[in-house]
């Protein structure tokens, strides 16, 4: 039967787009990327298919990410991509125009909000609600945001990191960084370029990040079998540490080359890349009203976003800032499920909606 009151929530992220249809409970998650023929502008692939093509296409075919640091950077491609996802999720006609709620970074400007609203109207939305990501992330993480209790929520995405202190449904304090998990991948890639004269691809740098992260050597040993099975990373013994053999192209000779990076070296690269995040958390701590300090000390920091999934990151942050940091359950889907809860109970959350 045709549902005339469709409700859809959207998280249009730098790295991934999540779209959830409330009435059918259908969730779609796809990388926010398109493969485009540079000369004609023809879109050749979108989403997962396009992500697999990154760095593997001829030079006249490019990968375009229409969202940069949580903000629409390319209206036309963003529109084409959203239309594709909406069509994949549901049937939209003039009769079934959906009500859409989209979460954006708190740092977004009015112009940036208008752009996304107009894009969603072009895609077919009847009504568009724009809400702030720290609020939907908190709702998704089951933080009791309406209560007079201070909660710190940290969202690490692909291109943006946001930390907020929330109490009584409001963001009391907010800090953000143009830094995310993708910057960490890039720092890993650059490390090989700068220290080994080795050019490695985006996919290898990402695999290194996803598979090893902050692994201590004993854990690295444990995952050895799994990695070998996938034939992506080769583990070698290097005295008291473990190493990973990496293949790339030597920037001096232009020939294929292999180098060994130790687990410790990799951990140092990650630590260096994470410095701004630690700074960000320390920074917001200085803003906390005395009445809320105890709450924050008691409850620590709740972490959401895909970037939080870096192995051992909560432990590392806890050690570095001296406050307990916890991973929310399924951190990468907290914003989309929190958004769904909000749209389902719009009246209940109206006090926090800045429409």
Ligand X SMILES: Nc1ncnc2c1ncn2[C@@H]1O[C@H](COP(=O)(O)OP(=O)(O)OP(=O)(O)O)[C@@H](O)[C@H]1O
Residues in contact with ligand X by CB under 6 A are 13-16, 70, 157-160, 180-182, 206, 209-210, 213, 305-307, 309-310, 332
Total of residues contacting Mg ion (CB under 5 A): 2
**Buried b vs exposed e over 259-272: b needs ≥16 C-beta within 10 Å?**
bbbbbebbbebbee
φ, ψ for residue 119 (rounded to 5)? -65, -40
Q: Which does 15 bind (CB under 5 to 8 A by kind): ligand X, Mg ion, none?
A: ligand X
Number of helical (H) and strand (E) elements in the chain, helices listed first: 12, 19
Nearer to ligand X (CB atom), residue 92 or residue 280: 280
- Residue 51 interacts with, from ligand X, Mg ion, none (CB under 5-8 Å by kind): none
Q: Write out the two tokens for 93.
A: 């006609």
CB within 8 Å of 164: residues ≥ 6 apart: 106, 134, 138, 152, 153, 171, 172, 173, 174, 175, 284
The least CB distance from residue 164 to ligand X, in Å, is 13
> Does 180 sit near Mg ion (CB under 5 A)?
no
Q: In a 3-state reduction of DSSP, which class is residue 61?
A: strand
- Closest separation between CB of residue 64 and ligand X, Å? 15
Q: Which residues have CB under 8 Å from 159's CB, separation 6+?
A: 14, 15, 67, 68, 69, 70, 178, 179, 180, 182, 183
Residue 248: which of Mg ion, ligand X, none does it interact with, CB under 5 to 8 A by kind?
A: none
C-beta nearest to ligand X: residue = 157
The helix-helix angle for 110-123 and 75-89 (nearest 10°) equals: 50
Q: How far is the CB of 332 from ligand X (least distance, A)?
A: 5
In this complex, which beta carbon is closest to ligand X, that of residue 134 or of residue 169?
134
Nearest distance from C-beta of residue 136 to ligand X, angstroms = 12
Q: At closest approach, how far in Å is the CB of 70 from Mg ion?
A: 6
- The residue among 135 and 220 lying less far from Mg ion, judged by its C-beta, is 135
**Crossing angle for the helix pair 334-344 and 133-140, to the nearest 10 degrees:** 90
User: Which of the listed partners (Mg ion, ligand X, none) does 140 bind, with a CB threshold of 5 to 8 Å by partner kind?
Assistant: none
- Quote the least distance from Cβ 9 to Mg ion, whole Å: 13
Tokens representing residue 213 in the block: 């992260």
Task: Report the residue from 7, 12, 13, 314 that binds Mg ion according to the rule CB under 5 A.
Answer: 13
Lookup: tokens for 180: 């995310």
Task: Name every residue whose Cβ is closer than 8 Å to that of residue 290 and which is 6 or more positions away in sequence.
Answer: none
| Residue nearer to Mg ion on the CB measure, 215 or 340 | 340
Residues numbered 155-174 forming contacts with Mg ion, rule: CB under 5 A? 157
- Contacts with Mg ion by CB under 5 A lie at 13, 157
């Amino acid at each position: 039967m045709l549902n005339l009151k469709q409700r859809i929530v959207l998280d249009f992220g730098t790295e991934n787009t999540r779209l959830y249809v409330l009435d059918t409970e259908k969730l779609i998650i796809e990388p926010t990327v398109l493969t485009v023929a540079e000369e004609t502008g023809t879109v050749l692939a979108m989403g997962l298919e396009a992500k697999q093509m990154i760095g593997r296409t001829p030079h006249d075919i490019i990968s375009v990410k229409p969202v940069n640091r949580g903000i629409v950077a390319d209206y036309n491609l963003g529109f084409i991509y959203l239309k594709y996802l909406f069509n994949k999720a549901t049937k939209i006609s003039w009769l079934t125009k959906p009500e859409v709620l989209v979460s954006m970074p708190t740092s977004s400007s009015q112009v940036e909000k208008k752009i996304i609203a107009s894009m969603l109207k072009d895609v077919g939305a009847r009504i568009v609600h724009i809400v702030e990501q720290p609020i939907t992330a908190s709702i998704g993480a089951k933080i009791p945001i309406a209560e007079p209790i201070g909660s710190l929520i940290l969202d690490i995405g692909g291109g943006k990191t946001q930390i907020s202190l929330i109490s009584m449904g409001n963001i009391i304090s907010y800090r953000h960084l143009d830094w995310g998990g993708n910057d960490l991948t890039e720092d890993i890639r650059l490390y090989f370029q700068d220290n080994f004269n080795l050019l490695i691809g985006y996919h290898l740098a990402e695999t290194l990040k996803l598979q090893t992260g902050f692994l201590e050597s004993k854990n690295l040993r444990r995952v050895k079998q799994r990695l070998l099975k996938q034939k992506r990373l080769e583990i070698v013994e290097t005295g008291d540490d473990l190493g990973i053999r990496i293949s790339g192209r030597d920037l001096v000779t232009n020939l294929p080359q292999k180098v060994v990076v130790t687990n410790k070296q990799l951990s140092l690269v990650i630590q260096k890349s994470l410095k701004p995040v630690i700074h960000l958390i320390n920074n917001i701590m200085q803003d906390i009203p005395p009445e809320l300090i105890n709450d924050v000390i008691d409850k620590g920091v709740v972490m959401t976003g895909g970037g939080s999934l870096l192995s051992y990151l909560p432990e590392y942050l806890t050690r570095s800032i001296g406050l307990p940091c916890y991973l929310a359950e399924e951190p990468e889907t907290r914003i989309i499920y929190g958004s769904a809860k909000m749209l389902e109970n719009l009246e209940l959350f109206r006090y926090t909606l800045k429409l």
